[in-house]
Amino acid sequence: MAVIARFSPAVGFAILLLTVTVTDANLRYLRTVAFSAQRTQRVLPTTPEQAIGLYNRVVRPDANHFDEDSGVFTAPIKGVYALAFTFHEALDASDPASYIKLVRESSDGGSETDVVATESSPPPASGSSISVPGASVMLELEKGDKMYLATTDAIDAEVSQPISFSGYLLTRIV
């Protein structure tokens, strides 16, 4: 921050200007830590549980903090982030409920924490229905923390019923 004082004899008073220096890096992080991704292909059942990757529709203003192949978002700076996900599931009486959970992998040693999980509605007694479960959270993340979706279930994603995962920085913590 710089302080500039000027006195104008014609006006008869001093003008005090405060200028704040904002680096390009700070401004970029304040405005563009965000991503929105969709997977429109079926997720196959796995054991053990695995991250959902291979997102084929991705918007990333920052172009480097979300990896669409692994499905992992890495927090570039310490801050409070908003994260949300949804998935669509066509259900009939013979289908078991499916679940997806949001996982946090800590930057300080790789410990994993299940943040939130959601599952599709119970199947109808007869006929079919569509379930659209999801969740949204606000979390304080450390620089380097990783966030991703995981499941062991088959999820029938397609163009009209994708798995969606989005996140953005709400505020930076210094």
> pLDDT (tens digit, 9 = 90+) per residue, 113-140?
777 777 666 655 566 666 677 788 999 9
Nearest to 72 by CA among 140, 173, 167: 167
Provide the percentage of residues in the chain whose pLDDT is more than 70. Answer: 68
Helix and strand numbers (H, E) in the chain are 1, 15
Q: Which of 8-12, 126-130, 155-159 has the lowest mean pLDDT?
A: 8-12
Does 160 score more than 90 pLDDT?
no
Which pLDDT value is given to residue 114?
Answer: 76
Q: Where are the domains of the chain?
A: 34-172
Is residue 134 classed as helix, strand or coil in its secondary structure? strand
Is the model's pLDDT at 60 over the cut of 70? yes
54 Rama sector, left if φ>0, alpha if ψ -120 to 50, beta otherwise: left
Average pLDDT, the chain: 77
Fold classification of 34-172 (topology level): Jelly Rolls (2.60.120)
**Cβ atoms 114, 149 nearer than 8 A:** no
88-108 confidence digits (pLDDT tens): 776 665 666 778 889 999 988
* 163 vs 174: CA distance, rounded Å: 33
88, 57, 37, 43 alpha-carbon torsion, rounded to 10°: 50
Q: Please return the burial class of 62, using the count of CB atoms within 10 Å of its CB with bins 0-12, 13-18 and 19+.
A: middle
